[in-house]
Structure 1
Amino acid sequence: MTKALHIMELKKLFNSNYLKLIAIIAMTIDHSTDLLFPGFPSEPAPLILHFIGRLTAPIMWFFVCEGYHYTRDVKKYMLRLGIFAVISHFAYCFGFGISLNPFRGSIFNRTSVMYPLFIAVLVLYIEDNMTWKKWQKFLLQTVLIFSAFPADWSCIAVLAIVGMYSQRGNLEKQMLKMIPWVFLYGLVSYFFVSKVYALELIGVLMVYPVLKLYNGERGKAKWMKWFFYIYYPLHLVAIGIIRLIVYGNTNICL
Structure 2
Amino acid sequence: MKNTDMNIRNIFNSNYLKLIAIIAMTIDHATDLLFPGFPSQPAPLVLHFVGRLTAPIMWFFVCEGFHYTKDVKKYMMRLGVFAIISHFAYCFGFGISLNPFEGGIFNRTSVMYPLFIAVVILYIENYVTSLKKWQKILINTILIFSAFPADWSCIAVLAILGMYSVRGNLEKQMIKMTGWVFCYAVVSYFFVSKTYAIELIGILMVYPVLKLYNGERGKAKWMKWFFYLFYPLHLVIIGIIRVLVYGNVNICL
- TM-score computed with the length of structure 1 as normaliser: 0.98
Partner of 1:204: 203
Helix, strand or coil at the partner of 1:42: coil
Partner of 1:134: 133
Partner of 1:149: 148
Shift of 1:6: 3.1
Partner of 2:101: 103
Partner of 1:185: 184
The 4+ residue runs of structure 1 with deviation greater than 6 A are none
Shift of 1:225: 0.1
Match status 1:176 vs 2:179: no
Q: Where does structure 2 lack aligned partners over 5 or more consecutive residues?
A: none
Helix, strand or coil at the partner of 1:234: helix
CA RMSD of superposed structures (Å) = 0.6
Helix, strand or coil at the partner of 1:235: helix
**Per-residue deviation, residues 74-110 of structure 1 (Å, max 9, x unmatched):** 0000000000000000000000000011111110000
Q: Which residue among 90, 93, 96 is the counterpart of 2:91?
A: 93
Partner of 1:7: 5
Match status 1:41 vs 2:39: yes
Partner of 1:29: 27
Hey, what's the Cα distance between the residues in 2 that align with 1:176 and 1:251?
35
Hey, what's the Cα distance between the residues in 2 that align with 1:32 and 1:80?
26
Shift of 1:155: 0.3
Partner of 1:220: 219
Hey, what's the Cα distance between the residues in 2 that align with 1:196 and 1:20?
27
**Per-residue deviation, residues 112-171 of structure 1 (Å, max 9, x unmatched):** 000000000000000011121100000000000000000000000000000000111110
Hey, what's the Cα distance between the residues in 2 that align with 1:156 and 1:166?
15
Hey, what's the Cα distance between the residues in 1 that align with 2:114 and 2:8?
33
Q: Which residue among 114, 128, 131 is the counterpart of 2:112?
A: 114
Shift of 1:11: 1.0
Describe how 1:233-252 pairs up with structure 2 within 5 A.
Answer: 233-252=232-251
Q: Which moved more, 1:15-24 or 1:128-137?
A: 128-137
Hey, what's the Cα distance between the residues in 1 that align with 2:122 and 2:94?
30
Describe how 1:37-76 pairs up with structure 2 within 5 A.
Answer: 37-76=35-74
Hey, what's the Cα distance between the residues in 2 that align with 1:140 and 1:36?
40
Q: Where does structure 1 lack aligned partners over 5 or more consecutive residues?
A: none
Q: Which moved more, 1:7-16 or 1:23-32?
A: 7-16
Shift of 1:5: 4.0
Shift of 1:68: 0.1
Hey, what's the Cα distance between the residues in 2 that align with 1:178 and 1:242?
34
Aligned-pair identity in percent equals 81
